[in-house]
Amino acid sequence: MDPMKKKKKVEKDGGKKKKEMITVEVKKEIIQKHERGMRVADIARFYNKSTSTICTILKKKEEIMGLDAAKGVTRVSKQRPRVLEDVEKLLLVWINEKQLGGDTVSENIICEKAKALYTDLVSKLPGTSTENEEGFKASRGWFDNFKRRSGIHSVVRHREAASSYAKAAEAFTAEFQKLMVSEGYLPHQVFKCDETGLFWKKMPKRTYITAEENAMPGHKPMKDRLTLLLCANASGDLKIKPLLVYHSENPRAFKKCKVQKSQLNVMWRSNSKAWVTRILFVEWINEVFGPTVKKYLLEKNLPLKVLLVMDNAPAHPPGLEDDLLEEFEFIKVKFLPPNTTPLLQPMDQQVTSNFKKLYTKALFQLCFEVTEGTNLTLREFWKNHFHIVNCLKLIDKAWNWVTKRTLNSAWRKLWSDCALGHDVEGFAQEQQPPVVDEIMSLGKTMGLEVNEDDIQELVEEHGQELTTNELIDLHREQQQEVMEEISSEEEDKKPEESLTSNEIRDMCKMWETVQNFVEKHHPNKAVAVRATNLFNDNAVSHFCQILKRRQNQVSLDRFLVTAALKEEDISEPTHSR
């Protein structure tokens, strides 16, 4: 082939097409679906793969299910030590947590964390010494391969100089205040939202409940975590329904308490990491934020004009306004400069801290009311009866308790004119200690050892660096949540749904053959007929009813489709006129 033609062909085709690799995680999903009765052809269609590829995976079932690879990894080399797989697995959990907190991470930071994880994990292996710590260098080659295997290149950014943060914050504040004057925004029209992690089932460390749990074999100190998106306006008189992201879409407590997610005081969403993604954020904007602020402004006879201030978290990148529905085009978005959140973020200025203290107060109140009003001990309630539905009620109560004054005074650094008239320092001293005092008083009433430092540590714990043990626990909990949800779905699934109509027909034909054989050859015809009729009525009829229902449903579906087509035929001439 002519070299120039060959070059053009490569350019036209975009180069040689790379073979799409299947991750170990997806391979395990394929095996699990097949074990639950899903046919190879259906699996192939579901994953858009050939049946031969699916069959190859199923043949290696035992080998694949025995792997414990990091999320996103496609191949596990037999030469790679198992500890490196564990390092990468925990490293991904750590990166996700960093991203959730809005922190930036660079190649150097990731490599240093990888080496620290390796050292910790090797020290836990039997018969190892500190000499093994030098076995993993976290080299550039390893990092490039890790990026390729796990696809984390999009979240790795270079750290900026810390000295530039304050300057950027100062410049942005001046620009923001000019914008408020030039555009004539009122505090009612300016909103701020922020994400925060909440360890919803966590007691202060020195309480006897936590001490007992820590002493238990296999205890998971991370407990459970969810992510909340809190939002309110600068005047403090409008709080938006929060977005809540959890590990599980349908926790078991929802079924037990007959929860209707549409009726919750939060917008409930889920993913395996329990963090806000762009898709979930856009849903919240269009389904909750937009309709709420529009109704609020119309009721107050204010212009449909809104500014939403937010930081540069991965869930809300530039271009967000393009995702707004047409009716919410009056909403404008303003992003804080990178890495200035602690300096400027209004929701960080006392609001989230206050909310978490109020959540802890509501939690302690609930524990006190249960122990006083029932025969349950605090241990029994905490271990067997406190679940996510209780947590949702506490979140709602705590968010309602956050005062208008707290929400307004939080803008003092970014928009000082908005917060004028409030003695901020006096307010902090006047309002915060009573909440802490109430928590400590409730704790002592229940026999819990709690002081002000314990409460502050509990509130700030979400921002602390996770230890290796905590990362292990967090990863295990996330995996367990997924497995529990799959198990719950399997329990809820009707047995008949796993049967195909062809399988039922084949069984009926086989039973008919057996029935005819027994009635023909059994020496006592009356006994044979009575026995086969009994089995028909008590066993086979169940499957016949399933088949009948399905046939009726198919007929109904065909009827509806036919009716719809007829309506289109009738209406078509009208449109043509």
Burial of 138 from C-beta contacts in 10 A (0-12 / 13-18 / 19+) = buried
pLDDT band (50, 70, 90) for residue 89: confident
Q: What is the mean pLDDT of residues 213-224?
A: 49
Please give the pLDDT value at position 431.
47
Q: Is the pLDDT of residue 567 over 80?
A: no
- Average predicted confidence (pLDDT) for the chain: 76
H or E stretch covering 471: helix 468-492
pLDDT band (50, 70, 90) for residue 75: low
Q: Is the pLDDT of residue 171 over 80?
A: yes
Please give the pLDDT value at position 519.
82
Q: What angle in degrees, to the nearest 10, is found between the helix axes of 51-59 and 40-47? A: 110
Q: Coil, helix or strand for 192?
A: strand
Beta bridge partners of 331: 306
- Which amino acid type is present at position 513? T
Please give the pLDDT value at position 157.
40
Q: Count other C-beta atoms under 10 Å from residue 539's C-beta.
A: 10
Please give the pLDDT value at position 252.
87
Q: Is the pLDDT of residue 69 over 60?
A: no
Domain boundaries, the chain: 20-67, 77-160, 194-277+335-471, 497-576
- Write out the two tokens for 284: 């919240």
pLDDT band (50, 70, 90) for residue 467: confident
Q: Is the pLDDT of residue 503 over 70?
A: yes
Please give the pLDDT value at position 564.
45
Q: What is the mean pLDDT of residues 374-378?
A: 84
Q: What is the mean pLDDT of residues 178-198?
A: 92
Q: What is the mean pLDDT of residues 218-245?
A: 82
Q: CB-based contacts of 61: which residues, under 8 Å, 6+ apart?
A: 31
Beta bridge partners of 192: 232, 309
Q: What is the mean pLDDT of residues 59-78?
A: 63
pLDDT band (50, 70, 90) for residue 286: very high
Q: Is the pLDDT of residue 491 over 80?
A: no
- Residue among 399, 394, 324 nearest 365 (CA): 394
Please give the pLDDT value at position 161.
41
More confident site: 113 or 530: 113
- Which amino acid type is present at position 327? E
Task: Output the CA angle 412-416-418, nearest 5 degrees.
Answer: 95
Domain 20-67, what architecture?
A: Orthogonal Bundle (1.10)
Q: What is the mean pLDDT of residues 239-258?
A: 91
pLDDT band (50, 70, 90) for residue 156: very low
Give the least confident one: 293-307, 434-448, 468-482. Answer: 468-482
Give the least confident one: 137-151, 210-224, 521-535. Answer: 210-224
pLDDT band (50, 70, 90) for residue 392: very high
Sign of CA dihedral 173, 175, 178, 179: negative
Whether 310 and 316 have beta carbons less than 8 Å apart is answered as yes
- Which amino acid type is present at position 382? W
Please give the pLDDT value at position 73.
53
Q: Is the pLDDT of residue 297 over 90?
A: yes
Whether 121 and 86 have beta carbons less than 8 Å apart is answered as yes
pLDDT band (50, 70, 90) for residue 160: very low
> What percentage of the chain reaches a pLDDT higher than 90?
20
Please give the pLDDT value at position 303.
94
Please give the pLDDT value at position 232.
95
Q: Is the pLDDT of residue 56 over 70?
A: yes
Please give the pLDDT value at position 154.
45
- Which amino acid type is present at position 87? V
More confident site: 96 or 390: 390
Whether 202 and 220 have beta carbons less than 8 Å apart is answered as no
pLDDT band (50, 70, 90) for residue 423: very low
- State how far the Cα of 481 lies from the Cα of 251, in Å rounded to an integer: 9
Please give the pLDDT value at position 349.
57
